[in-house]
Amino acid sequence: MKPYPFTAVVGLPDLRLALVLSSISPAVGGVLVRGEKGTAKSTMVRALAGLLPGVDVVDGCRFSCDPAAPDPLCPDGPHEGAKSHRRPAKLVELPVGAAEDRVIGSLHLERALAEGVTDFQPGLLAAAHRGLLYVDEVNLLHDHLVDTLLDAAAMGRATVEREGVSVSHAARFVLIGTMNPEEGELRPQLLDRFGLTVEVASSRDPEQRVEVVRRRLAYEADPDAFAAQYADEDARLAADIEAAQRLLPAVKLPDEALRQIAEVCASFEVDGMRADIVTARTAVAHAAWAGRDEVTTDDVRVAARLALPHRRRRNPFDAPGISEEQLEQALQDAQPDPGPEDDGPGSGSTPPEAPEPPQSSENAPQGEPKQSGGQQKTVGAGETFKARVFRVKGMGEGERGRRSRAITDSGRTIGVQPPSVHEGRPHLVATVKAAAPHQKARGRAGAGLKLRPEDVRYALREGREGNLVLFCVDASGSMGAKARMREVKSAVLSLLLDAYQRRDKVGLVTFRGAAAELALPPTISVDAAASRLDGLPTGGRTPLAEGLLEAARVLRVEEIRDPRRRPLLVVVTDGRATSGPDAVARAQAAAGLLAGVTTIVMDCESGKMRLGLAADLAAHLGAEHVPLADVAAESLAAAVRARTGKAA
C-alpha cells in the first residue's frame, strides 16, 4: 500500500517547511514536532521519505557507503573499486522500547573470542545513514538512547565500545522526533540538540476539518488511486528539494545576516552557541529553498522562528514560542537601514506563522489570591529552588531514570548474572573463566576458545531508576494562610522540577473539606501537575484520613498498571485531622495501610506554638519528617554556617 502523499496533508505549513529545510540541509540537526494526538505528525514524517532523492551506495555495504566518498573506517570496507547501485532514501523508525544494541549495533561475542574476528552487527543508526531516522514519542525514549541518537546526529558517526573492542561507522541522517507534550517533556539539554522545533495543533476551521476527513476516507478507500492524484505535485516538490540541495553549497551568508543572527539569539538569551549555528544553517537552507544565492533578512526571520522557541525554555513550566515583536526589534537593531529586499517575504516564500504562546502559570500574576467563591481561595507559588533529593529505599528494577538505585542494563558493574539469565551485555572475563575449564574436554585446537551458549555470562549493573512520586497535599483552611500556602506551592513546584529532571512519574492527591480528590492521575507530564497545583483552592476542615486513603488507593492501582515504578509518597500537611468523627484515630489507621511505602512528611506547621502533629503522623507512617524550611537542598542554617564559617 502506498504511503499517504506528503502534499495531500492539509495545513501544517510550519511543519512542512521545517521538514523540507532539514531535508535540504541535514546539518540543520533535524526536527522535533510537538503537538496533540491526531494532528498528522507521523503521517507527514512518513510521507517525507518519498520526496527525497535516491542515494548511490556501494554494493554489499551494510552501512550505505557513498561510492564517491566511502567511509575509510567502514566495518565492511575497504571499498576501492567496488561496484555501486542507486536506491531510494530510507525512513528508519526507532521503536520506543528498542534495546541499546538494536540502536547502535553489537559485536558477536562468540566469534570475537573463538575466532578473533570483530563481527559487527549493524543497528538502526547504520540503517538510517544517508536517510531519515524517525522516533515517534521521542519524549518516552530512555535518556541514554536519546543521548546516543543526538550525539550521532551531531557528530555524523556512531561508535560501539564493547569489552575493549571499538567499531565506528558513519551515521549521517535527518533526525525527526514527534511527541505529545501532555505525556511529558524532553529535558532542556536534549531539546537543544534538535535543530528545529514546530508546534502543531488541529485546525478549528470547519471547512479545513471537513477536507481532512474527506481526503483520509478517500485514501483508505483506494490508497493507490488517491496517491496517483498527488503524484505530480509530490514529484514537483521532490524536484524542488533536489534543486535546493544542489544550490545549497553556493549560498553565501553575508556578515550583515550573521550580525542579525547574533542579535536575535542574544535578544532571546539562549544558552550557548548552538542556537546561532543552527539558525545560520537554517537561514542558508531557506535561501536555497527560495532559489536565492545569498541569505536575506527574510531567511533569518524564518530560521529564528523555527530554531529558537525550544531553546528559550528554562524549565518545563515555561511557555513555548517566541515574541514576534522582540524578533522584529532584534532584526532592526542589527540592520537599522533595511534594504528593499527586507520589506517582506521574498521570492514567493511565506514565513511560517508563529503561534501565540499560551500564558504560563509561572508568568501569571501571583501577588494576590484569586477569590473563587465561598471560603475558597487560590494562592500562587513563590520562587522555586533546588530541592533536596529524596530517594526510594532499597534497590529496584524499574524504569530508567535518575532517582533511586536499581539493577539496569547500564551503569557500573557490580557482579555477574547467573547462567540462567540471558539479559544485558556479556561479561568478557566471567565468560572466559566459565569456558576455560572445559577447553581440554572440548578438544580445543589453536589459540581460540571453544565457547558454548551456557558459557556466556552477563554483567550485573547498577544504575538509577525513575520512580512514581505521589504528592498528597493538605488544602484545608489551616493551610490557607497566604504566606504559608505560597511557601508550600513553591516547595512542591521545586520537587516537581526535581522529578522532571530525574524522569519520574508524578501524581497529585489533594484533600480539604470532607473529602480527598485525585487532582492529577499519575503522569510523566510534570507541567500538568504544576498547572493543577497553581489552581489549587484552599479552605474547609482537614480530612487527613481521606487523603491518606486516597493516596493508598492510587498507589494500589498504579502498582497494577505500572509495576516497574516504585512509589515515593510526599505528604504535605501540618498534621491536623479535623474532619469527621474520630478524625485522628482514622488518620492513624489509614497510615497503617501505607506501611512499606517510602514516605516523606513535609511539615507545614508554623508559628511559635507548635503541636508537632506532622511529626506524629510521620512516626505512624514510618516516614521521614522534613520541616518545610528544610526541603531546599541547602537549609537556612547550613547557608548561614557556610557564609560565617561557624561550626554546627
Helix ranges (DSSP H) in 92-205: 100-104, 109-115, 124-128, 143-155, 188-191
Whether 516 and 510 have beta carbons less than 8 Å apart is answered as yes
| In contact, 29 and 40? CB cutoff 8 Å | no
Four-residue CA torsion sign, 140, 144, 147, 152: negative
Q: How far apart are CA 177 and CA 428, in angstroms?
A: 36
Q: Under a CB-based contact definition with an 8 Å cutoff, are residues 575 and 587 in contact?
A: no
Q: What is the residue whose three cell numbers read 510534570? A: 526
> Which amino acids are annotated catalytic?
274
Terminus-to-terminus CA distance in the chain, angstroms?
73
The total number of residues written for the chain in this structure: 648
Q: Determine how many CB atoms are found less than 10 A away from the CB of residue 392.
A: 22
Cβ–Cβ < 8 Å for 624, 618: yes
Distance CA 238, CA 233 (A): 9
Q: What is the 3-state secondary structure (H, E, C) of 395-439?
A: CECCCEEEEEEEEECCCEEEEEECCCCCCCCECHHHHHHHHHHHC
Beta strands in 266-420 (DSSP E): 370-371, 377-378, 400-408, 412-417
Alpha-carbon separation of residue 642 from 626, 632, 635 (angstroms): 21, 15, 11
Q: How many CB atoms lie within 10 A of CB 428?
A: 18
CB 225 within 8 A of CB 3: no
CA distances, 328 to each of 105, 292, 333 (Å)? 46, 22, 9
Q: Give me 155's grid cell.
A: 557528530
Whether the link from the prior residue into 78 is cis, omega within 30° of 0, is yes
